[in-house]
Structure 1
Amino acid sequence: MQGIYFSSDALVCRPTSVRLVLTMPCNTSVKLNGKVAVVTGGSSGMGYEAAMNLANHGARVIIASRNAARLEEATKQIIAETGNSNVSYKTVDLASLSSVRNLAREINMEDKVNVLINNAGAIALPDRLTADDLNLTMQVNYLGAFLLTFLLLPKLRASAPSRIVNGVAATMYVGDIDFDHWNDLGRYNVITALGTSKLAVALFSAELDNRLKNTGVTANSFDPFLVKDTNLLSNIPQGLQNVSQFFLNIVGQRKEDVGEQIAYLAAAPELEGVSGRLFKFCHEFPNHWLVHNRHFTKRLWEESKKAVKISGKEDWEMSNAI
């Protein structure tokens, strides 16, 4: 069998050692008392586990997703498990820009925001436009996170040192961003739709790094590889879902392990000041080649501002450039 390469630091893992890499511990004992962390998609799956980890380290944690009942139950469970009562929730629907703006307004009322984890996302969404006239997959997986991050950046800068952690996927390597057609219907299949949205996230992280130099705010991406016990497959046909789940059960990571990895990126002291990188299994990995194309990442930033209709009042760049 061919070797499987998970590299950073020239580490080469053969199939017999894959499990060793997947279970490699990457926790940290750092205390986060007084820090505020926001986790989207925090009511279940790896987002919930990341929130649990951050709460265990003493942070004030705000989880956000669509379902208020699930959020309430998740909040209660995190408090009960960690003994940290400083956990709360807020609802947000990333398919609605007004909902994202409302979440940003609520979070901006906090005294500080030290960590923003853009974890929420979905696959196999219907091929349609949202009420904002944006491609549904692109809005849920990227443009919603772009808007939330843009609106929180002044608070993140004021709270520095702060960290932004954005979720990507290996499908980004089959993504294809064409700004003239990224809202087209019938253009993408399930894989390329996901890949294009995740490529946008990777390029967004790179441009954040470029724009946040010397501000005390870092931006990194994480690839969770494959996760065996989440509800991400719920939108695909049942037959394919069963086959995919069987495969995930064999090679996928546990959501608890991924949550630990995300929390590590958000909290580890040794990553202070580290920015513009892609991490997998807590190791730095080679990023998409387009992240080094500053012309392209700058255009993505400007096109994204247009897509989410950043108003003059919201556009802090006009008077406070970074």
Structure 2
Amino acid sequence: MVEAAWVQETGGMAISNFTDKDVVEQNGRVYFITGANSGLGYEAAKVLAGKGARVLMGCRSEDKAETAMASICAVYPKADLRFIPLDLGNLKSIRSAAKLVEKEPRLDVLVNNAGIMMPPREETADGFESQFGVNHLGTFALTGLLLDKLAKGQEPRVVITASMAHRSGRIDFDDINAEQGYSRWSRYAMSKLANLLHMYELDRRLRAVDSPIKAVACHPGVADTELTKNFPAVLVSLFRPVSSLFMNSAAQGAWPTLAAATGKNVEGGQYFGPSRNGEWTGPAGEVQPRPKAKRIELAKLLWDVSEEMTGVRYPV
């Protein structure tokens, strides 16, 4: 059994200039991180494991998960890690993962980190356009399935990873699966706007029933991760040598995730991102999205569509 040894502090200043050095001991805490074998998810998992948390690593590939866990254990031999098979592009896989997590003694924080960026038009196993399907619908389904489990945790939180790309996003309800036309960037931006609409609507619903769960969001700024694998090769080759001048490393890009997941005095509905260079880089702090991300009627419509598409009905 995992013993509770973590206590949320109250009072004090709002979160600012947050880095991995600000993560307090997490003994007894249980985190489920999606996409934990690389990039932001891996870096967050590494920090949390090093602070004593039990980390459930949701990954598509068992081989990659095992490699990531071995890498973490090489630094922190006592790391408490578990691989959870998870493909956010497959509702059957999502339900199976949720059932495995349900069997854990507890769950305190769900970190929805996994996502894809700008692939050619593809469809998920359930026939959804892949970026909307993985980034939003997969996250929506997993969160809904684990909400009751989270409600029993200690100081529970749901963290949803968005992006500055939400600023140009528009939810195309008339062509939700991009069957009439597909733009890699616009569909990515749409999925990231959907992430924020989801978080704010979830926050409203949780507050309405006085739930102990806090729904928050984060974005990594411009981080050097595997998400860039679909960028044009010539662009990557040109900018890679100078990327450190205007991009966070993956470890730095995980700071907003860690702030949202572990920061003291976090309130539902907060959004965290880098604090420098127009939210591109730097330590984490609270940031503000575009007003459209908080549009209640838009969020409610998206919520209804998401429940219909995924078949997942939230208990709130």
Pair 123,29 (structure 1): closer, same or farther in 2 beyond 3 Å: closer
Match of 1:124 in 2: 118
Structure 2 Cα separation of the partners of residues 162 and 83 of structure 1: 27
Contact 1:51/1:263 (<8 A) preserved: no
Identical residues among aligned pairs (%): 30
Aligned to 1:263: 258
The whole-number CA distance in structure 1 between the counterparts of 2:111 and 2:314 is: 21
Partner deviation per Cα, 1:197-238 (whole Å, 9 max, x = no partner) = 00000100101110111211111111101112x211212332
- The alpha-carbon deviation at position 122 of structure 1 amounts to 1.2
The TM-score with structure 1 as length reference comes to: 0.84
Q: Which amino acid aligns with 1:280?
A: G
1:13 maps to which residue? none
Q: Write out per-residue CA displacement over residues 227-278 of structure 1, whole angstroms, 9 at most, x where no aligned residue.
A: 12x211212332233245456333001111222332232112232xx11121
Q: Name which of structure 1's ranges 151-160 and 200-209 shifts more when overlaid on structure 2.
A: 151-160
- How far residue 82 of structure 1 moved from its aligned partner, in angstroms, is 2.1
Structure 1 261/46 Cα, relative in aligned 2: closer, same or farther at 3 Å? same
Q: CA deviation at 1:100?
A: 1.1
Cα distance change of structure 1 residues 219 and 247 upon mapping to structure 2, 3 Å threshold: farther
Matching of residue 83 in structure 1 with residue 77 in structure 2: yes
Q: Superposition pairs for residues 211-230 of structure 1, below 5 Å?
A: 211-213=205-207, 214-228=210-224, 230=225
Report the counterpart of residue 58 of structure 2 in structure 1.
64
**Secondary structure in structure 2 of the residue aligned to 1:212:** helix
Q: May I ask how many residue pairs the two structures share in their alignment?
A: 291
- Structure 2: unaligned runs, 5 residues or longer: 1-12, 275-283
User: Which amino acid in the other structure matches residue 64 of structure 2?
Assistant: R
Distance 1:250 1:186 in 2: 39
Deviation at 1:54, TM superposition (A): 0.9
| Aligned-partner SS, 2:22 | coil
Given the alignment of the two structures, is residue 111 of structure 1 paired with residue 113 of structure 2, yes or no? no
RMSD of aligned alpha carbons: 2.0
Q: Pairwise mapping of residues 129-278 of structure 1 onto structure 2 (< 5 A)?
A: 129-185=123-179, 187-213=181-207, 214-228=210-224, 230-243=225-238, 245-246=240-241, 248-271=243-266, 274-278=267-271
Hey, what does 2:302 align to over in structure 1? 300
8 Å CA contact 1:202–1:288 kept in 2: the answer is no
Cα distance between partner residues in 1 of 2:124 and 2:19: 40
Q: Which amino acid counterpart does residue 251 of structure 1 have in structure 2?
A: F
2:45 pairs with 1:51: yes
Give the letter aligned to residue 307 of structure 2.
K
Q: Please give the per-residue CA displacement for 1:138-197, whole angstroms capped at 9, x wherever unaligned.
A: 111111111000000000112142011111111111111022311123533221111000
Give the Cα–Cα distance (whole angstroms) in 2 for the partners of residues 232 and 198 of structure 1: 14
String of CA shifts for 1:118-152, please: whole Å, max 9, x gaps: 11111122213223121111111111111000000
Partner of 2:287: 285
Q: Using the alignment, how far apart are the partners of 1:70 and 1:26 within structure 2? A: 24
Gaps of 5+ in 1: 1-8, 10-20
Paired residues of 1:114 and 1:161 also in contact (CA < 8 A): yes
